[in-house]
């Protein structure tokens, strides 16, 4: 299996790893601290599955994890990394569709065309079964 080379799956992996840390170390996090060895192990797991150009994404997610969970500075490998991670550019804001808005134009087939195709395929399959049973 190849390394993850896209930022979205890399971010999801980082968040999943950090969610496991939160789940299995709940009491430690509630006390406002986290063992640096756990974080170093998590980062090594992340690095083993992600392209080196995306390693900084774990540090971004970890900084957010610390802020969200009220964790103070962490000593160890991450102490210097988290403070120097530049923030990721914000995604452009898109207005969410409101109830009653017409759906956006699509290039692909419509839902009714897909349903029609499925119905035709089912009818052909049924006819085929009927013919085979009649032999």
pLDDT tens, residue by residue, 73-92: 554 444 444 444 555 566 56
DSSP reduced 3-state for 36? helix
**Between residues 134 and 18, the one the model is more confident about:** 18
Q: Contact at 8 Å (CB) between 76 and 68?
A: no
Mean pLDDT lowest for which of 7-11, 82-86, 111-115? 82-86
- Beta-strand runs (E) in 1-135: none
Q: Give 34's pLDDT tier (boundaries 50, 70, 90).
A: confident
């Amino acid at each position: 299996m190849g390394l993850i080379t896209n930022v979205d799956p890399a971010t999801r992996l980082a968040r999943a790893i950090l969610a496991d840390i939160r789940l299995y170390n709940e009491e430690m996090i509630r006390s406002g601290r986290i063992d640096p060895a756990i974080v170093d192990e998590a980062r090594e797991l992340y690095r083993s599955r992600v392209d080196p150009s995306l390693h900084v994404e774990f540090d971004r997610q970890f900084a957010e994890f610390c802020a969200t969970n009220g964790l103070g500075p962490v000593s160890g490998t991450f102490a210097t990394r988290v403070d120097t991670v530049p923030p990721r550019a914000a995604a452009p804001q898109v207005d969410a569709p409101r109830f009653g808005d017409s759906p956006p134009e699509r290039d692909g087939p419509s839902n009714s065309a897909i349903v029609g195709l499925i119905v035709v395929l089912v009818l052909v399959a049924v006819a085929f079964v009927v013919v085979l049973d009649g032999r």
